Structure 1
Amino acid sequence: MLDTAMKQQLTTYLGNLREPIELVGTIGSDETSAKTRALLEDIAALHPMVTASFDGTASRAPSFLIRRAADHAAAVSFAGLPMGHEFTSLVLALLWAGGHPPKVDADVIEQIRALDGTFDFDMYFSLSCQNCPDVVQALTLMAIFNPRISATLIEGGAFKDEVDSRKVMAVPAIFLNGEPFANGRMEVSEILAKLDSGAGEKMARKIAAKDPFEVLIVGGGPAGASAAIYTARKGFRTGIAAERFGGQVLDTMGIENLPSVTYTEGPKLVAQLEAHVADYDIDVMNLQQAEALVPTSEDGGFHEVRLANGASLKARSIILTTGARWRQLGVPGEDTYRNKGVAYCPHCDGPLFKGKRVAVVGGGNSGVEAAIDLANIVGHVTLIEFDSSLRADEVLQKKLRSMANVDIITSAKTTEVTGDGEKVNGLTYQDRDSAEEIHIPLDGVFIQIGLVPNTEWLKDSGLELSRFGEIVIDHRAGTNIPGIFAAGDVTTVPYKQIVIAMGEGSKAALSAFDYIIRNEPVAEIAQAAQKAAQSA
């Protein structure tokens, strides 16, 4: 099952085992079961602390349990083959069950152990989903460190009937105690926040106690990470407050235009950025949603950012890098059928529509790339573009037009996503030339129509925004408010690209450095002068 390179890699990892582990397989007579048996036998042969048996009694076959030999409660189950994007998740499950400590804050482990109650998780993933490993690994961690938590991680392609019966139309999909719990990428801290009602209040108290920063970055994408690295290297006390470290890059599959990096994937790049940030004394506050910006009334004072949990952060200089999000169609049915046939990530959810009919709305590069990817998986793709012609690069258009199972419709205004109350069953569009309303029967709709800057929270801040909601900046990444800078997709800088965001974040950091050294902190000077006068 495992090739030579994978065996060598896994042998190295298994050298970190501290305790024996057991692999308990429940195997059927199908091809996937045969591959699962071969996988478990390969793993067991690589290290004496690993044993494999095939007398499992799980309800799903093929499936297998990974458990600590001395403590069967430290366990997690996989149904289907956790290969592809999930191979790393499999490795971590083996190591954690075998006593190797996870690279997670001790506070998180303590919070997992302190959860009271019975939590039985089922989670569905696809092997092409780059968002799924974070959820798989989070639930694995929780199941191994809390005996009251169980987790079964299910490869949807191996259990299609089950996926259909539970109406799973987007991954990652999490069920708790038999009921839908969450959809989409989640880190362990996000799952814990949903289970632990006091988690938000604890974090708010912790944040409120922090001293002011010299530089605070709001947003944790490529621009924010780059800015933080630069200001930290200047010796400034730096903080990052991010709603989701990594931002939109986490939802990006193939990245082939980052100079010096021939190919990478979004989650991998984010992990590298996170590791680089961790090399410096940077205070990263993840899962923090900014709610208001309160600029200082005097140069050299502290700007303030108020968070949704009630806490506030202050800094002499602030760099805004809150990025952008996928633009929605804003038509009836879109919200109703989100994760029920309406999707935004073809890489994650495309495999769930194998052999079915889907539409892609959007004729730019993102839309055409999505249509090409989906055409290799689904039965038929209809690309719908509002304009009279596609806007994607010619090389992409040529590729798309060469595919036999693709229709292209231009001059089409999408007016409604339709459904049967449970899932999508079609899309209605208006022909912009004839005004005729046309309905297309479909199983899924993938929306790829551009980005919206995340600036709603800045509307009353006095910060200048463009008519598109972007933060207006100058050539030094400065805004109309002294000491406040901005970078990346949230700004008026054209061409929303990762490499540009990194450069702009670095530029904003250097501008913040220049601002701070040229503007003495007025309040501190006054306080020092007062103390000097009193001592005299």
Structure 2
Amino acid sequence: MLDAAVKNQLQAYMEKILLPIEITASLDDSDKSREMLALLQDVASLSPKVSLVESRADSERKPSFRINRVGADMGVRFAGIPMGHEFTSLVLALLQVGGHPPKVEAELLEQVRRLEGEHVFETYISLSCQNCPEVVQALNLMAVLNPRIRHTMIDGALFQDEVEARKIMAVPAVYRNGELFGQGRTDLEEILSKLDSGRAEREAARIAGKAPFDVLVVGGGPAGAAAAIYAARKGIRTGVLAERFGGQVLDTLAIENFISVEHTEGPKLAAALEQHVKSYEVDIMNLQRARALVPGELVEVQLESGATLQARSVIIATGARWREMNVPGEQEYRGKGVAYCPHCDGPLFKGKRVAVIGGGNSGVEAAIDLAGVVAHVTLLEFDSQLRADAVLQRKLLSLPNVTVITSAQTSEVMGNGEKVNGLRYTDRTDGSSHAVELEGIFVQIGLLPNTDWLKGTVALSPRGEIEIDARGQTSVPGVFAAGDATTVPYKQIVIAMGEGSKAALSAFDHLIRSSAPEAVAA
């Protein structure tokens, strides 16, 4: 099952297992059971502290397996074969069940241990989803730490009957005690904030008591991380306020144009950014959304939580989000057939009909990827021609199960009350209306800057981007901006990092000049 190189690498990790663990495999006579058993046999052969038990008579999902510490009762189970993006989840589960300490803040670990009540979590994933592992790993760790918590990772492509019964059309989808708990990327801190009702209030009070910062960075993506690092290296008091550290990079699959790194993935880069920032004395305030900016000698940033922070200078790096179609039915069927990540949710539409909205690079790439999984792809482009690179267009048009419709304005998402069953579009050449029967819609029409909270405070372009000069200065003294939220062209990771660094240097220059003593008259 595992090749020699992977075995050697896995064996090095498994030497860190401190306590004996037992893997119990629930099997039937299917090919997937045999494939899973081969994987588990390879795993067990790499450490004397790991034993494997086969079971065919239990009532568990098949194929699935449980990882348990000998002499303890832990609720970590994988229903499916955790390869692809989930292979790391398997490795971490083995280590943590085996007593290897997790790299998580002690405060968060203690909060998990203190959780009361019974919590049975089920997470439906796809092996191609780059957002799923963080959710799986967080819930697995919670099950290791707290005996009242159980967690099962479920491969939606393998257990299609459950996916259909629960009408799951987007992953990760997390159920708690049989009820939908959440969808989309979620980390340990976010899960705890939902389970511990008083946590948000305690965090708001803690934030409100902080002394003013020299530089406060609003946003935790590449631009924000670079700004924080450059500011902290100047030895000034630096804080980062982030709705989710990593920003939109967390939703990016393959990154192959980050100079000096041939290939990486968004979540890996986001984790590296956070680790780099944490290596300096930077106060990171995660899961916090800015509500308003109040200019002044000390600039105030008001938060949705009710807390207020002050700083001598502020760098805004709030990035952008997926642009929505804003048509009837889109919000009603979001997560019920309307999706924005083809890599994550594509496998859930295996053998079905889908549409991709948008004919730029992202839309055409999505259509190409989906064509290998679904029955048919209909790509709709508003313009009279596709805007993607020529090489992508040639590939797309060579696929037999793709239909391209140009001059098409999507006008409605249709459904049966539970899930999408079609869309309607208007032909812009003659005004006629057409309906397309399908089961999924993937929206790929660009980005919107996250600047709504700044309206009326800093100058924004007609597109809602923050207007900045060559130094990153906004229209408000002491307030700088960087990255995808600004008017700087070309929304790229490497450009955002450079802009964040520049904004931090400009903020430091502003602080020096604003605190310099007045010239003494002769």
The bucket for the TM-score relative to the shorter chain is over 0.9
Are the equivalent residues in 2 in contact too, given 1:254–1:265 (CA < 8 A)? yes
Contact 1:68 1:75 (C-alpha < 8 Å) held by counterparts:
no
Check if 1:444 corresponds to 2:413.
Answer: no
Q: Distance in 1 between matches of 2:71 and 2:285?
A: 36
Q: How far apart, CA to CA, are the structure 1 residues paired with 2:363 and 2:309?
A: 39
Q: Distance in 1 between matches of 2:352 and 2:409?
A: 23
Paired with 2:384 and 2:447, the residues of 1 have a C-alpha distance of 21
Asked if residue 513 in structure 1 is aligned to residue 508 in structure 2, the reply is yes
Given that residues 383 and 406 in structure 2 are in contact (C-alpha distance below 8 angstroms), is that contact kept between their aligned partners in structure 1?
Answer: yes
Instruction: Give the superposition deviation at 1:521.
Output: 8.2
Taking the aligned partners of 1:410 and 1:75, their CA distance within structure 2 comes to 51
Name the structure 2 match of 1:531. Answer: none
Given candidates 472, 475, 479, the residue that maps to 1:477 is 472
Looking at structure 1, the residues matched to 495 and 317 of structure 2 have their Cα atoms a distance apart, in angstroms, of 12
Cα gap change, 1:277 to 1:58, in 2 (>3 Å): farther
Distance 1:65 1:58, change over 3 A: farther
- What residue identity is the alignment partner of 1:340? K
Establish whether residue 495 from structure 1 lines up as the match of residue 490 from structure 2: yes
Shift of 1:58: 4.2
After the TM superposition, list the runs of 4 or more consecutive aligned residues in structure 1 that deviate by more than 6 angstroms: none
Residue 306 of structure 1 is aligned with which of 265, 290, 302? 302
Aligned residue in 2 for 1:468: 463
| Alpha-carbon distance between aligned partners in 2 of 1:206 and 1:97, rounded to the nearest angstrom | 33
Is residue 169 from structure 1 mapped to residue 165 from structure 2 by the alignment? no
Measure the CA separation in 2 of the matches of 1:315 and 1:154: 46
- Write out per-residue CA displacement over residues 44-70 of structure 1, whole angstroms, 9 at most, x where no aligned residue: 111111111012724200100011112
2:294 — aligned with what? Answer: 294
Residue 200 of structure 2 is aligned to residue 200 of structure 1: yes
Alignment deviations for residues 62-101 of structure 1 (CA, whole Å, 9 cap, x no partner):
10001111212x3301100011000111111111111111
Secondary structure in structure 1 of the residue aligned to 2:248 = helix
For residue 113 of structure 1, report the CA deviation from its aligned partner: 1.1
Alpha-carbon distance between aligned partners in 2 of 1:402 and 1:180, rounded to the nearest angstrom: 40
Q: Assess if the C-alpha contact under 8 Å between 1:375 and 1:403 holds in 2.
A: yes
**2: distance between equivalents of 1:9 and 1:307?**
45
What's the counterpart of residue 143 of structure 2? Answer: 143
- 2:34 alignment partner in structure 1: 34
Q: How has the CA–CA distance of structure 1 residues 38 and 316 changed in structure 2, closer, same or farther, with 3 Å as cutoff?
A: same
Instruction: Quote the residue 2:409 is aligned against.
Output: 413
Matched AA of 1:263: H
C-alpha separation between the residues in 1 aligned to 2:328 and 2:313? Answer: 42
Give the SS at the match of 1:33: helix
Give the share of equivalent positions with the same residue, in percent.
63
The whole-number CA distance in structure 2 between the counterparts of 1:261 and 1:109 is 33
TM-score (normalizing by structure 2): 0.97
1:355-379 deviations in Å (ceiling 9; x for gaps): 1110000111111111111111111
Whether the 8 Å CA contact 1:75–1:97 is kept in 2: the answer is: no
Whether contact under 8 Å (2:227, 2:502) holds in the other structure is yes
Counterpart Cα distance in 1 of 2:38 and 2:97 = 21
Amino acid at match of 1:498: I
2:326 to 309, 326, 330: 330
CA contact (8 A) 1:2 1:39 kept: yes
1:208-287 pair list within 5 angstroms: 208-287=208-287
Deviations 1:194-227 (A, max 9, x none): 1110010111122122221111100000100111
Quick one: which amino acid aligns to residue 43 of structure 1? V
The CA distance in 1 between the partners of 2:387 and 2:370, in whole Å, is 19
Structure 1 unaligned regions, length at least 5: 526-536
Distance 2:299 2:233 in 1: 22
Q: Give the number of aligned pairs.
A: 517
Of the candidates 316, 319, 327, which is equivalent to residue 320 of structure 1? 316
C-alpha deviation, 1:313, in angstroms: 1.4
Q: Please tell me whether the aligned partners of residues 75 and 149 of structure 2 are also in contact (alpha carbons under 8 angstroms).
A: no
Unaligned regions of 5+ residues in structure 2, if any?
none
Q: Which amino acid aligns with 1:493?
A: V
Partner of 1:386: 382
Offset of residue 249 of structure 1: 0.8
Distance 1:204 1:16 in 2: 38
Q: Which residue of the partner structure matches residue 338 of structure 2?
A: 342
| RMSD, matched Cα | 1.2
**Match status 1:422 vs 2:423:** no
